[in-house]
Amino acid sequence: MSDPAQDTLQQQAVQWLLKDEALAISALEYLPTDFFPPLFKEAFTGRQTNLVRAMVAAWPFHCLPMGTLMPISHMETLKAVLDALDFLLTQKVRPRRWKLQVLDLQKAYQDSWDGQAGGIDVSYTPQVLSQKQTMEHDPEHEVKQPLRVLVDIGLSGECLKETDKYLLKWARLRKGSVQLCCRELKIGASHVYTVIEILNILDRDCVQDLELNSWWQQGNHAWFAHCLGQLGNLCKLPLLGICQTLFSGNSAPPDMKNCVTEPVPQFPNQDCLEHLYMNDIYFLKGNLETLLRCLKTPLETLSITHSQLSQADLNHLPLSLNLHQLTHLNLSSVVLSCLSTGPLHSLLKKVAATLKILELEGCRMKVSQLSALLPVLSQCTQLIKINLRDNDISMTVLQDLFHHTANLSQLILELYPAPLECYDDMGHVLKDRFAQHCSELMDILRAIRQPKYVCFAVSTCFMFLLTEIFISMSINKTPALLQLTGQSLLRNQALAISALEDLPVNFFPSLFKQAFDGRHMEILKAMVAAWPFSCLPVGALMKTPDVEALQAVLDGVDMLQSQKVPPRRWKLRVLDLRNVHQDFWDVWTGTQEGARSSEPGSEMQVGKSLPRYALRRRLKVVTDLSLRFHLKEHQTRLLQWAQQRKGSVRLCCLKMNICAFPVETVKEVLDIFPPDYIEELELFTNQALSFLGHFAPCLGRMRNLRKFHLTHIYLNTHRDVSTLTDTEEKCVTKFLSHFSKLNCLQSLSLDGVYFSSHHMKQLFRCLKTPLESLRITLRQLSQSDLKHLSQCQRLCQLKHLNLSGVVLSELRPTHLRVLLENVAVTLQHLELKHCRIKDSQLSTLLPALSQCSQLTRASFYDNDFSVAVLKDLLQTMANLSKLTVELYPAPLECYDPMNCVLVEKFAQLCPELLDILTAKRQPKTIAFVTRICLECCRRCVYDTESRL
């Protein structure tokens, strides 16, 4: 069972360690393993390289998935990690708890850091899992095994990223002790020597996906073929854009003369290849048979696009046994108008039982050719997508096609060309006729079966780079057409931008998300300027800070505001940079079912938490802001942009977190962020007196503040708080006085905040509205403090009361009883963990607890209750029918004189205690919990599910 209080303590401990790097490094030897992931994540993102270096050397898990923390490569942190590995590799005796076998630099497996700490140990890529199984019980073998570094590498020109260069050089020098594994390797226009040199560094058995996109000459590819043959586990091979040789054999380098004279590179046998993509390949014509002979296993995907094929090439397709199980066949932009399509007919017949996707776009097939294929298309019963755009088809043939596909019940996406009757003699589109014929065709199709997505498109007008599209969708929408349209537009930036004016509104979210994921920054910019909804929740797409994408979005706003006449359909009023409203993208891109309103992302939907006056005409940029130690690059960029545009844009921060941040910079930030928009504020500072004094006026302006969380505020670290100087006293008084201006405050949290009794009294007197939630934890309360709590009229409507970590063992419980009686009608959550309440004190509280009829959650663990008094408590709680979560301490009888748990006694008493509750009602979630063991930092828990 998760312990929220323990999680909070862990977070606070991590923050304290980060403030003192030397202390953190010295503590690693004995630090609980659960602390490693959150501490490493904070140190890494904060670029505390010394701490990162030390943590890698002591890493207690098999795998370190560091790539997910590097949205943008950073040389210094990478060097720190590799330096730590160097240190380990030179040690004969490694650190006691060190287990690291895999350094994962791939940008995947974010759940490793988002989930529980223990998840790090099992968040392996499939390639590593088998290795882990053989190592866990063999420490000697674990030391001898080379360290594996997982990475994806992309080569574009000769511009290899600096971090990749450094990593490759580092791995090359340590080849005997480090194994560099690259699952996805992309090669684009890089010199063949460079590529082969990199392949010599990589573990070639790990490469599963190789994308080759280059303008190498013929000989270069032949020379590279030898290396390709050594990629024994290659599953996916896209070959993109391979041009003809630019020099003759005599002018070639001496060691390549023989290669240049070969008509086609002899690609070696591929034993695992499942997906083969060949786009714009010069040497295919007349040589396809030679290439397909290299296949040793059946392909699932064959894609030959934008290439020339001869009749002999086409004839060989149905003869290749390894093409008889295809699920995806793509021959787009392979011109078939001058060829016999008989072999294509034979191939379709052979793959009819397995084929799911058929793409013949741009093949320029004639009416007679397509008519010949219709009978075999009716046999492809597994088809889910068919694309016949840019072929010459008449109305009659289209009607025949629909009748032949009447039984294809799996079809969800159908893309057809506009019939020939939609063009005039010059090839120009007759728009009225296009709309008329498409409507007629849809009526025919609906009379035969119920289609899902159907699209008719005319040929592209090269003068205007536009494509007329007629779309019909069924009620049961799927994302396929949105995805396809987006992919088509994104291939041509100019086309995409020019199409925005007439693009259906429903296509905008899907296209925007695809442009964002594909890093199409110019298209993003244009889409922001043309956004047809009131709100753009772009923050939900930024899982990690993304400076480049943020700049593109801000540039789009600038583009919009520079136009005297805004775009016809533009409605943008709120740009939301918070990581919320994921459902907007899930619904509109089809990943989640849900109703789509006619005005998705409306101002009131996404901006509903803004004050009413925030919904005026001026564009609002809404964000949450975490000011931790120093401004991050994306925050600086946003603030500078907003400061320069104060007259036309207002930045609205709804949730602000300030942690050890200079008060002068905070005030500068609040000059840009109107403080009256802030609804949640968390404040942590180690310079309390000076900070609170300067920050007080800012607090007074936060008139919409609803939640205020003060954590670890020490008014004076050298003297008792009762001996403050006059100046210090004025600072505190000034700060507390501004609580009287917080007219919307509903939740107040004081974690580890050391105010004097006088200051606590002043604070509660300044409250102007009833609180719903009060949290005072990890601090001392005096008898006077409890008295103030019980007398404060603003605390009589509390729904949540949390006094965890407040030691009450030496205080009289009378005032706490009065407070519970005051809130009995409204209280829903009560947290009294770690309070060291004794038997006599609990007995005093029982009558008040019995009145709390609205309680849904109660937590009492880490208190000193005997079996007898704990039974009285359970008898009282048994009458509270709304309780859904109950957490109780193990009774004192479960410990020996050394405070060690007597497990058998604990297991014996817990069922008896549980029976007291079950005799009156059926508890939903209940647990009896021991104290934390100081040796293992864990507890024994008895609950209704797991027992012990």
Q: What is the pLDDT of residue 293?
A: 82
3-state secondary structure of 113: helix
Helices of type H across 229-341: 257-260, 288-292, 311-316
In tens, the pLDDT along 266-324 reads: 455 567 888 998 888 877 888 888 888 878 889 999 999 988 999 999 999 999 999 99
Q: 755 Cβ partners below 8 Å, 6+ apart? A: 713, 715, 721, 732, 763
DSSP assignment of 86-108 equals HHHHT-SS--TT----EEE-SS-
Across the beta sheet with 178-181, the strand order is 63-64, 102-104, 147-150, 178-181
Distance in angstroms (rounded) separating the CA atoms of residues 711 and 698: 18
Opening angle at CA 551, ends 547 and 552, nearest 5: 120
Distance in angstroms (rounded) separating the CA atoms of residues 620 and 614: 7
Could you give the count of Cα atoms lying within 13 Å of 833 in the half-sphere of its Cβ? Answer: 25
Distance in angstroms (rounded) separating the CA atoms of residues 300 and 277: 11
Q: What is the pLDDT of residue 296?
A: 82
Across the beta sheet with 385-387, the strand order is 153-156, 184-188, 209-213, 236-242, 275-281, 301-305, 328-330, 357-359, 385-387, 413-417, 453-457, 469-473
State how beta strands 469-473 and 453-457 pair. antiparallel
Opening angle at CA 453, ends 450 and 457, nearest 5: 120
Contact 870, 843 (CB under 8 A): no
**CA dist list (Å): 345 to 228, 371, 372, 376:** 33, 11, 8, 7
Distance in angstroms (rounded) separating the CA atoms of residues 943 and 763: 40
Nearest to 41 by CA among 65, 23, 72: 65
Q: What is the largest CA-CA distance in the chain?
A: 102
Could you give the count of Cα atoms lying within 13 Å of 756 in the half-sphere of its Cβ? Answer: 14
Distance in angstroms (rounded) separating the CA atoms of residues 48 and 879: 53
Q: How many CB atoms lie within 10 A of CB 410?
A: 11
Instruction: Quote the CATH superfamily of domain 770-948.
Output: Ribonuclease Inhibitor (3.80.10.10)
**CA dist list (Å): 107 to 73, 110, 119, 187, 746:** 11, 8, 17, 18, 40
In tens, the pLDDT along 681-711 reads: 988 876 666 677 777 888 888 888 999 998 8
* Total number of residues shown for the chain: 948
Provide the b/e sequence for 78-99 (b: ≥16 CB within 10 Å). bbbbbbbbbebeeeeebbeebb
DSSP 8-state class, residue 358: E
Q: 935 Cβ partners below 8 Å, 6+ apart? A: none
What tokens were used for 195? Answer: 């590529």
Distance in angstroms (rounded) separating the CA atoms of residues 379 and 442: 22
Domain spans, the chain:
4-149, 609-755, 770-948
Distance in angstroms (rounded) separating the CA atoms of residues 504 and 808: 65
Q: What is the pLDDT of residue 858?
A: 96
Q: What is the pLDDT of residue 869?
A: 95
State how beta strands 941-943 and 102-104 pair. unpaired
Opening angle at CA 481, ends 478 and 483, nearest 5: 95
The residue ranges of the chain whose pLDDT is under 70 are 1-9, 71-73, 93-97, 107-144, 156-160, 188-193, 213-227, 229, 242-270, 460-485, 488, 502, 563-569, 581-583, 586-617, 686-690, 713-725, 945-948
